Amino acid sequence: MKSYSIALIPGDGIGRDVTAAAWTVLEKAAGNFGFALVGTEFPWSCSFFKDTGRMMPEDGIETLRGFDAILLGAVGWPAAVPDSVSLHGLLLPIRKAFVQYANIRPHRLLPGVTGPLRAERFDILCIRENTEGEYSGAGGRVHQGTLDEVAVETSIFTRAGVERILRFGFEQARSRRGKLASVTKSNAQKYSMVFWDEMTRKLAADYPDVTVTSYHVDALAARMIMAPESLDVVVASNLFGDILTDIGAAIQGGLGYAASANINPDRSAPSMFEPVHGSAPDIAHLGIANPIAAIWSGAMMLDHLREKVAAERVMKAVEATTAKGIGTIPGKDSTEAITAAIVAALT
């Protein structure tokens, strides 16, 4: 029997609730479709930081390297650890160290879920660059606390990094409806985004079957709300992609439905799967967090592990559940009830 080793990092807050739910569904899928998932849980989180002074041990990356995939919940507990410390101590180092340069985020309405828009028939795949750009972490502060204080944060766009994410976007568009929206702000950012646009135009020659349009990020944000059905694949830099995918989450009914995959396309290191949402301290451990984003992320993990049938069946079970109205109204159904309904629908 095929077996996959999965590193489980539930993290903080509702990350713990939804990772447990996703794991229940994934184990059931494995049993149904004839493969095994062997999970190893790591307590790396803000409470781990409080105990050890680190979000993960010094050899955390090397520990994770041997796994087939990583399933992560949420990171952050701002009352105890500043978000800038928790994010740069766990999530971002994993994305960068394992060259998970493509962050894939699907945005569509599940059956039975009501979004805030009149448009209901949209299916957008956002591809967010995940290792550089505005999240490079290059910068510094001087004269802190004085009137001469200066803070500098430099975005880094490498030719290799821009080319690989744009090519990934073109390939995704080619496998879907053949339309790529490349997100820019080259009127204001005259070095990095002009370069991004030049690379978009250059690579377009290799994908004559894909129609590519460059949109300024502000125009694209408006388009996601006014005409989401006009979009197919969207490719964006790290920060632009982060912001646009919160709009994507909003139009698909909320963060409880927004899934993501941090993919290492070369498979030279594990990929990581996580709901887009954070740790939501206000509802942590109340048993009311929506587990669907985490379960959908788990289905993306099965797909990446090439368990395509199991991945599709998990999504069918999620859709059958929401079609019955379960998990479609915030706070109405418990995490446990939504999970049980999805498990029951999984055939």
User: Applying CB under 6 A, which residues contact ligand GGG?
Assistant: 74-76, 87, 91, 242, 274-275, 277-279
Distance in Å, CB of 42 to ligand GGG, minimum: 15
Our CB check for ligand GGG shows the closer of 87 and 284 to be 87
> Any catalytic annotation for residue 4?
no
> Any catalytic annotation for residue 218?
yes
Distance in Å, CB of 136 to ligand GGG, minimum: 13
Q: What is the DSSP letter of 287?
A: T
Our CB check for ligand GGG shows the closer of 74 and 233 to be 74
Our CB check for ligand GGG shows the closer of 248 and 278 to be 278
- Rounded-to-integer distance, Cα 347 and Cα 333, Å: 22
Question: Token digits for 214?
Answer: 């460059």
> Any catalytic annotation for residue 185?
yes
- Give yes or no for a contact between 259 and 116, defined as CB atoms under 8 angstroms apart: no
Please classify residue 187 by burial: count the beta carbons closer than 10 Å to its beta carbon, then call 0-12 exposed, 13-18 middle and 19+ buried. Answer: exposed
> Any catalytic annotation for residue 282?
no
Question: Token digits for 131?
Answer: 């290792």
Spell out a b/e string for 209-241, using b for 16 or more CB atoms within 10 Å of the CB, else e.
Answer: ebebebbbbeebbebbeeebeebbbbbbbbebb
- Give yes or no for a contact between 280 and 7, defined as CB atoms under 8 angstroms apart: no
Distance in Å, CB of 132 to ligand GGG, minimum: 13
Distance in Å, CB of 277 to ligand GGG, minimum: 6
Q: Which of 12, 185, 207, 333 is catalytic?
A: 185
Distance in Å, CB of 10 to ligand GGG, minimum: 10
Distance in Å, CB of 38 to ligand GGG, minimum: 23
DSSP letter string over 212-259?
EEEEEHHHHHHHHHH-GGG-SEEEE-HHHHHHHHHHHHHHTTSGGG-E
- Give yes or no for a contact between 150 and 211, defined as CB atoms under 8 angstroms apart: no
> Any catalytic annotation for residue 83?
no
Q: Which residue minimizes CB distance to ligand GGG?
A: 74
Our CB check for ligand GGG shows the closer of 131 and 214 to be 131
- CA 297, 302, 306, 307 dihedral sign is negative
- Rounded-to-integer distance, Cα 264 and Cα 100, Å: 4
Q: Which of 68, 96, 246, 316 is catalytic?
A: 246
Question: Token digits for 127?
Answer: 């591809």
CA 83 to chain centre: 18
Nearest to 259 by CA among 110, 47, 122, 142: 110
Question: Token digits for 215?
Answer: 């949109």
CA distances from 303 to 65, 162, 216, 307, 308 (A): 20, 25, 32, 5, 5
Distance in Å, CB of 307 to ligand GGG, minimum: 22
| Active-site residue list | 135, 185, 218, 242, 246
